[in-house]
């Protein structure tokens, strides 16, 4: 399946999206689900997508939910200033220095992308939470408020074992969730209730995730596994395997889920020495797992190490394609399927507290054999 999954990666990460402007990704996912007779897709009232297996029987146990967000930092047109000049808000986190004379592309359905250049950057204000830009074009453009503009990048696609893309964060996470879910659908004896939640507008404050938590779009007893592409650091390089995140810049995650994730990864590595994985904090940003936990949902997180996070090539000081390693991606999909198969196997992967209880029961007598002062 890897070749097909890689094809999905190339397709989805090339789509023009911005926070709260995810229509093209939503349409891609709807077509993906429509081709599968055993998938039910619905949208909550905020536009988040929820996918589950179609089944005549009621699902058993606590749901396992793979979740990722469908947006990426980008521009949204706010005003047409002239036939060759647009004003747009930039939604998401990119440092100001990367905007200077940066090349962009205007996207409109049914028309080829049109290149432009950022000529001015204005800071956010109390009544305007996003930075604003002026963009100039060499030719007349057809545009309207709400249109998406993205960075104008170089050659994109797969070269050897690396993907260069417009938006790995977090469309690669979306593909990983769908790929793992698709493989789980083929396993008829899979007991667990495995689902996918794809959220909107993460890059401007986890809006979709917060909405889903507040509206109870997912069951309160669910276990959520937030998938991200997170900024790579020297100790979390591309090619060293998917990362089990113990936390992010803001919070740490559910200790029991994180414990069992690690045990499942260790088991995979024992059975196949080619399987590589990492266990890291990944402090480059905050992910949706922190938001879910704040609203009382048990959450863990996994990610792919990401090169040129938010399209910022810090070494070169310019905007560039985001990059992930395909072996990391394949490993993440494999690990997610193992989670779906094994998370509730308490014989093989007992909860952390059960492990502690067993240690205590076997050695508690030591506390009485040499009591202080006895």
Q: Is 194 helix (H, G, I), strand (E, B) or coil?
A: strand
> Which tokens is 299 given?
């959450």
> Which tokens is 26 given?
């939503």
- Global pTM reads 0.94
Q: What angle do CA 280, 253, 212 make, to 5 degrees?
A: 125
**Shortest CA distance to 101 belongs to which of 121, 78, 79, 86?**
121
Count Cβ atoms within 10 A of the Cβ of residue 109 and give its class: 0-12 exposed, 13-18 middle, 19 or more buried: exposed
pLDDT at 58 over 70: no
β-pairing, 131-137 vs 148-151, is unpaired
Count Cβ atoms within 10 A of the Cβ of residue 260 and give its class: 0-12 exposed, 13-18 middle, 19 or more buried: buried
Q: What is the pLDDT of residue 259?
A: 94
Q: Can you say how many angstroms the Cα of residue 41 is from the centroid of all Cα atoms in its chain?
A: 19
Q: What is the pLDDT of residue 156?
A: 94
> Which tokens is 236 given?
């979390």
Q: How many CA atoms lie within 13 A of 288 on its CB side?
A: 34
Q: Can you say how many angstroms the Cα of residue 179 is from the centroid of all Cα atoms in its chain?
A: 13
pLDDT at 111 over 60: yes
> Which tokens is 328 given?
């990391």
pLDDT at 246 over 60: yes
Which residues partner with 196 through β-bridges?
Answer: 51, 66
CB 315 within 8 A of CB 329: no
Q: What is the pLDDT of residue 109?
A: 87
Inter-axis angle of helices 168-185 and 2-13, to 10 degrees? 150
Instruction: Provide the pLDDT confidence category of residue 72 given band limits of 50, 70 and 90.
Output: very high
Inter-axis angle of helices 326-342 and 2-13, to 10 degrees? 110
Mean pLDDT of the chain: 94
Average pLDDT over residues 211-235: 95
Q: What is the pLDDT of residue 188?
A: 73
> Which tokens is 283 given?
């402090």
pLDDT at 56 over 60: no
User: Which residue shows structure tokens 């938006």?
Assistant: 167
Average pLDDT over residues 145-164: 95
The widest CA-to-CA distance across the chain, in whole angstroms, is: 90
Q: How many CA atoms lie within 13 A of 306 on its CB side?
A: 31
Q: How many CA atoms lie within 13 A of 1 on its CB side?
A: 18
Hey, what domains does the chain have and what are their CATH numbers?
2-72+156-352 (3.40.630.10), 74-151 (2.40.30.40)
Instruction: Provide the pLDDT confidence category of residue 65 given band limits of 50, 70 and 90.
Output: very high
Instruction: Provide the pLDDT confidence category of residue 222 given band limits of 50, 70 and 90.
Output: very high
Q: What is the pLDDT of residue 55?
A: 77
Q: What is the pLDDT of residue 57?
A: 60
pLDDT at 289 over 70: yes
Q: What is the pLDDT of residue 241?
A: 97
Q: Could you tell me which residue, 238 or 349, shows the higher pLDDT?
A: 238
Q: How far apart are CA 250 and CA 175, in angstroms?
A: 25
Find the range with the poorest average confidence among 105-119, 182-196, 213-227, 281-295: 182-196
pLDDT at 271 over 80: yes
User: Which residue shows structure tokens 């014989």?
Assistant: 347
pLDDT at 245 over 90: yes
CB 149 within 8 A of CB 303: no
CB 178 within 8 A of CB 123: no
CB 195 within 8 A of CB 50: yes
Q: What is the pLDDT of residue 190?
A: 73
Average pLDDT over residues 348-360: 90
CB 261 within 8 A of CB 100: no
pLDDT at 189 over 80: no
Helix runs in 116-217, H state only: 168-185, 207-214
Q: What is the pLDDT of residue 154?
A: 85
Q: What is the pLDDT of residue 127?
A: 86
pLDDT at 373 over 80: no
Q: How many CA atoms lie within 13 A of 195 on its CB side?
A: 25
**Shortest CA distance to 235 belongs to which of 278, 275, 286, 287?**
278
**pLDDT, tens digit (0-9, with 9 covering 90-100), for 301-343:** 999 999 999 999 999 999 999 999 999 999 999 999 999 999 9
């Amino acid at each position: 399946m890897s070749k097909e999954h890689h094809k999905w990666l190339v397709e989805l990460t090339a789509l023009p999206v911005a926070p709260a402007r995810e229509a093209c990704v939503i349409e891609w996912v709807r077509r993906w689900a429509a081709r599968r007779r055993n998938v039910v897709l619905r949208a909550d009232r905020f536009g988040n997508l929820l996918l589950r297996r179609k089944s005549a029987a009621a699902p058993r146990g606590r749901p396992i939910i793979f979740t990722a967000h469908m947006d990426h930092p980008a521009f949204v047109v706010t005003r047409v200033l002239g036939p060759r000049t647009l004003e747009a808000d930039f939604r998401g986190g990119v440092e100001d220095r990367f905007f200077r004379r940066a090349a962009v592309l205007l996207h409109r359905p049914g028309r080829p992308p049109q290149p432009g250049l950022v000529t001015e950057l204005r800071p956010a204000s109390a009544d305007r939470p996003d930075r604003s830009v002026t963009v100039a074009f060499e030719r007349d453009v057809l545009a309207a408020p709400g249109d998406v503009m993205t960075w104008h990048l170089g050659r994109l696609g797969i070269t050897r074992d690396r993907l260069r893309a417009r938006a790995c964060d977090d469309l690669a996470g979306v593909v990983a969730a769908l790929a793992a879910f698709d493989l789980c659908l083929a396993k008829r004896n899979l007991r667990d209730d495995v689902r996918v939640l794809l959220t909107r507008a993460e890059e401007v404050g986890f809006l979709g995730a917060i909405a889903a938590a507040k509206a109870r779009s997912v069951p309160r007893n669910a276990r959520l596994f937030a998938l991200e592409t997170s900024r790579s650091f020297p100790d979390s390089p591309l090619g060293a395997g998917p990362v089990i995140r113990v936390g992010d810049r803001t919070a740490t995650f559910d200790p029991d889920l994180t414990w069992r994730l690690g045990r499942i990864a260790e088991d995979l590595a024992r059975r196949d020495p080619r399987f590589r994985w990492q266990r890291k904090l990944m402090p480059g940003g905050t992910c949706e797992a922190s938001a879910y936990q704040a609203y009382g949902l048990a959450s863990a997180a996994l990610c792919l190490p990401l090169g040129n996070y938010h399209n910022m090539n810090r070494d070169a000081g310019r905007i560039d394609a985001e990059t992930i390693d395909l072996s990391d991606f394949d490993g993440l999909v494999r690990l997610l399927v193992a989670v779906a198969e094994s998370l509730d196997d308490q014989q093989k992967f007992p909860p952390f507290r059960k492990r502690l209880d067993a240690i205590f029961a076997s050695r508690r007598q030591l506390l009485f054999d040499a009591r202080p002062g006895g």
